[in-house]
Amino acid sequence: MLERRLGLAQATAINMIDMVGIGPFITLPMIITMMNGPYFLYAWLAGALLSFIDATVWSELGAAFPKAGGSYNFLKESYGANKAGGLMSFLFVWQTMIQAPLVIASAAIGFASYFSYLVPLNTLGTKAVSGTVVILIVLLLYRKIETIGKISMFLWIGVMLTILWIVAGGISHGNFLGPIKHMNDGLTVNYAFISAIGFASVKTVYSYLGYYNVCHLGSEIKNPTRNIPRSMFLSIIGISVLYLAMNISVTSVIPWDEAKDSEFVISLFMERLAGGTAAIIVTCLVLWVAFASLFSATLGYSRIPYAAAADGSFFKVFAKLHPTKQFPHISLLFLGALGFIFSLLFRLSDVISAILAMRILIQFIGQAVGLILLHKKRGKQFFPWKMSLYPVPAILAIILWAGILISTGWKMILGGIGVITIGALVYFIKAKRNGEWPFANSELLDDFK
């Protein structure tokens, strides 16, 4: 039985270290390249806006169903546990078994890429570093949740110090407001700009992902109806401010047209400000941030297969808890092993797009639609936390996520649909064998109409 041991501070820290990761450091030059102008900051604002809107959906559902597994429970309850909810929740867990290791792999690959600033690596060396990082994360997570909460706070301190140092460096340089003053230079709001925002937002949204990690740990959060929503909004506000300040700081020292071509832009930034030793130190701190994010993400994802299996909707082996430490060790080991393999096989740019394309249809759009269905079925009074202006935020979330999905490209969209299709076939075979929806007998179906 999972225990409620994590308070608001720990929940917020877990969200924030999951959100930061290696993403903002390695995607910064990518985003500038896509926007191709000083107005690249708008892409970061767009990512923050989508995250904030989507967090209202997560908050209503997370406060109403504070259980391990997050979206698994949201989808099951929204679409009906004995109706389409069985299919939707199964598909979520199914795609999680692939996209969660992709998230783990992306952080590990990004870690290895930035590590090469310190020690030049060939292809084999890069893969060795990324694989080793995954192994270390699994070993570190192999312990009780209260210990993990303390580790999370320790890692969070390192994350905050890193970003604050970068911001302080830009302020001390004396041109901190320069990128803001010139962010509209050459800007024309036309189809090309809107398209660029869409493609760049794929990368910025990736850097914000994780604000909902607390929902996956719902069974381990104290006072969840209050702390789950608060931790998400605190995380998004805090990280948005830090991301914008960091981007402004870096481009106040390194012009945007030079920053877009730098693979190690943060290291170059600090080298210009304080020399080679400072550049090495900040690189080590960036690696700390990447490691912390991987720790938090793996922690949250390990609870999803466990929740589904404990509910009888997924393979039973994943429901096993460690006999003394009381955490889902089989789930952790499986996702870690697959993440290790993926870290050896894929490139980072492909992994980022694949992660989003695979998740948007079932998880983000699926549960926003599900929330609207749940409102119709149970009424507004059912929800302990209520979004303002319902259903406007939910509808906006659906529209914005659809736009991000299109921006990932048709190759990634078709890949995500392929994973969902295979998962649906597996579900229907299982449902036929077990007499579940839609193959339950007619009398049972009548009971749920």
CATH of the domain at 111: 1.20.1740.10
Each residue of 49-64: pLDDT tens digit? Answer: 999 999 999 999 999 9
Residue 39 predicted with pLDDT over 50: yes
Q: Is the pLDDT of residue 313 over 90?
A: no
For residue 243, is pLDDT > 70? yes
CB within 8 Å of 398: residues ≥ 6 apart: 365, 368, 369
pLDDT of residue 348: 67
Q: Residue range 100-107: average pLDDT? A: 87
In terms of Cβ atoms closer than 10 Å to its own Cβ (0-12, 13-18, 19+), residue 191 is exposed
In this structure, is residue 131 part of a structural domain? yes
**pLDDT for 273 beyond 60:** yes
Does the residue 213 lie in any domain?
Answer: yes
Mean pLDDT across the stretch 384-406?
95
CB 57, CB 371: distance < 8 Å: yes
In a domain? residue 434 = no
pLDDT at residue 349, as a whole number: 64
For the residues 428-433, what does the mean pLDDT come to?
Answer: 92
Q: Which residues contact 193 (CB under 8 A, 6 or more apart)?
A: 39, 187
Let me know if residue 320 belongs to a domain.
yes
* The two structure tokens encoding residue 76: 């099951």
For residue range 127-154, what is the model confidence (pLDDT) as tens digits?
999 999 999 999 989 887 778 878 888 8
In a domain, 444, yes or no: no
Q: How far apart are CA 308 and CA 93, in angstroms?
A: 7
Q: How far apart are CA 375 and CA 96, in angstroms?
A: 26
Range(s) of the domain holding residue 114:
8-414
Is residue 431 one of the residues assigned to a domain? Answer: no
Residue 448 in domain: no
Does 437 reside within a domain?
no
* Minimum mean pLDDT range among 17-21, 44-48, 261-265: 17-21
For the chain, how many structural domains are there in total? 1
pTM as predicted: 0.86
